[in-house]
Amino acid sequence: MYEEITKQLAECLTYLKNAASLRSGAVVVMGCSTSEVAGGHIGHNSVPELGDALAKTMIDTCRALNLQPVFQCCEHLNRALVMEQSTLDQLRLTQVNVMPVPKAGGSVGAAAYKRFAQPAVAVAIQADAAIDVGDTLVGMHLRPVAVPLRMGEGETKVGSAHVVMAYSRLPYIGGARAQYPEK
């Protein structure tokens, strides 16, 4: 039922990995409004079944690309982040005690929590890259310096939702005499 939408998400993630030259094991945060994907307005008319399809696609595609998937919850959980316990432990993040549900966490975050083998929720993260499906303001979870990324000339969409992607690069320090290594 959601074949075209999940295909669009997988294409965005593959593009992000390649265009940003993300290293193996890089952390990618996804913020997503199923309301927007389905053609509605963010925060209204959540679609749990669509959330599950998108969470599955994000997890499966990230695993295939050797990336670590993380999911931003909605503002009702202060935009907390759902991930595997191993990711939280590896990054030494502050864990919080909550279980996202569609009305408090969002449909995608709730679905990811159910899909992870050992789900954990953190209060904050500084990820390597992010994909924002439906203007959910996921940029707060990127480490400095964020570099916006677009797929081609037209507007990128997953379903009916606008997509913004970004990755982080190392900050440049120094001045006129500083030199920087080639990538």
Domains of the chain, CATH where assigned: 3-168 (3.40.50.10360)
Q: pLDDT at position 151, please?
A: 87
Instruction: State the average pLDDT over residues 81-103.
Output: 97
Which tens digit of pLDDT belongs to each residue from 59-68? Answer: 999 999 999 9
Which CA distances in Å does 110 have to 57, 76, 91, 173? 14, 12, 22, 40
Confidence of residue 99 (pLDDT cuts 50, 70, 90): very high
What would the pLDDT profile of 111-167 be if each residue is shown by its tens digit? 999 999 999 999 999 999 999 999 999 999 999 899 999 887 777 899 899 999 999
Average pLDDT, the chain: 93
Dig out the tokens for 16 from the structure: 């992000």
Rg (C-alpha) for the chain, rounded Å, is: 16
Band (58; pLDDT cuts 50, 70, 90)? very high
CB-side exposure of 101: number of CA atoms within 13 Å?
Answer: 3
CA 44/CA 47 separation, integer angstroms: 9
Phi-psi region of 88 (alpha: psi -120 to 50; beta: other; left: phi over 0): alpha
pTM: 0.92
pLDDT at 167: 94
